Amino acid sequence: MSAPNYNPTELMICLAARQIPDGVTAFIGTGIPMLAASLAQKMHAPNLIPVFEFGGTGAILKRLPRAVGEGRTFYRGLVASGICDTMETAARGFIDYGFLGGAQIDPYGNLNSTIIGPRHHPPKVRLPGSGGANDVGSLCWRTIIIIRHDKLRFVPKVDFITTPGYLTGPGAREAAGLPPGTGPYRVVSTLALLDFDEETKRMRLLATNPGVTVEQVIENTGFELIIPPNVGQNEPPTEEELRILREEVDPERFYI
C-alpha cells in the first residue's frame, strides 16, 4: 500500500535505496547516500556492506552517521582502518557500488563539484571539490548519482570534470586508463530515474517519478536525452519505507 504524503527528498532516498541489492559492497558518502544505505539495510539488503571513506567497513547503520569519519560508521563493523586502505580496496576492484552527488552532470555522466564558470582562476563559484568523489567514480564498478533535476545541473558540458563518467563517449574511460567495465550506472533525480545507453554511453530516461511527465523531464534537462519507446513510472514510497525512514533512519529529521 502506497503512502501519498512524502517530500521530494524522501522519494529520492527511497529510489536510491531500491537500487542497492543485497550482499554487495557500497561506497557511502555524506547525506542522502547514508540514508539510502540505512534504509536498504533495514528493508531488503541486510547483508549490505557499507564502506566509508575514513575506514569504516561493514557497519550496522543502526543510528544515522553525521559524517563519513564519525564513530557510527564503525558500529559493529567488519574493519576499522583508514582512508588509504579504503581507496586501495576500491582500486583493487572490491567495491561494487558508489554513491555520488554533484552540482552539474552532463550526457555522459561526468560530474562537477569543483567550480562553476568558464575559468578555474578565478571561478564564478568555488565548490567543495572532489574529496573522494574522483576515486569513487573512477574505481567502483557501478556509480549511482543522486542529484536535483533542472537545467542548471543537467548541462551539455560540465564546467569542470571532478568525477569522470563516460568522458566523451564509448571507449573514452578505457583510453584514459580507468578500469574497463566501471562507470555511471543510475541517476536518481527529483524528477526521474535514468541510466546510460550501452552503446552510445549517453543518458537515457528509464522512469519518471510519480506525477511527473516525460515532457517535464525533457524541459528540465539541458541536453537531449535518449527516450525509449516505453518509459516506466517509479512507485511512490510505501508506508513501510516512510515509517522506517522517519522513525528509525532519521527520526530527528536531520536530512529529510
**What is the residue type of 105?**
I
25 HSE (CA, 13 A, CB side) = 22
Structure confidence at residue 94 (pLDDT): 96
- Mean pLDDT, range 224-230, rounded to an integer: 97
Q: Hey, what's the cell of 186?
A: 543510475
Query: The whole model's pTM is what?
Result: 0.93
Structure confidence at residue 31 (pLDDT): 86
- Mean pLDDT, range 216-230, rounded to an integer: 98
Cβ contact 104:158 at 8 Å: yes
pLDDT band at residue 228 under the 50/70/90 scheme = very high
Cα(101)–Cα(115) distance, integer angstroms: 14
- Mean pLDDT, range 111-133, rounded to an integer: 91
Structure confidence at residue 2 (pLDDT): 47
Residue 243 Cα distances to 6, 169, 246, 247, 248, angstroms: 11, 41, 5, 6, 8
Which residues are the active-site residues?
Answer: 53
Mean pLDDT of the chain: 94
Q: 32-43 vs 8-18: helix axis angle to the nearest 10?
A: 60
Residue showing cell 580507468: 178
pLDDT band at residue 4 under the 50/70/90 scheme = low
Cβ contact 97:24 at 8 Å: yes
- Mean pLDDT, range 42-70, rounded to an integer: 91
- Mean pLDDT, range 219-224, rounded to an integer: 98
Structure confidence at residue 3 (pLDDT): 47
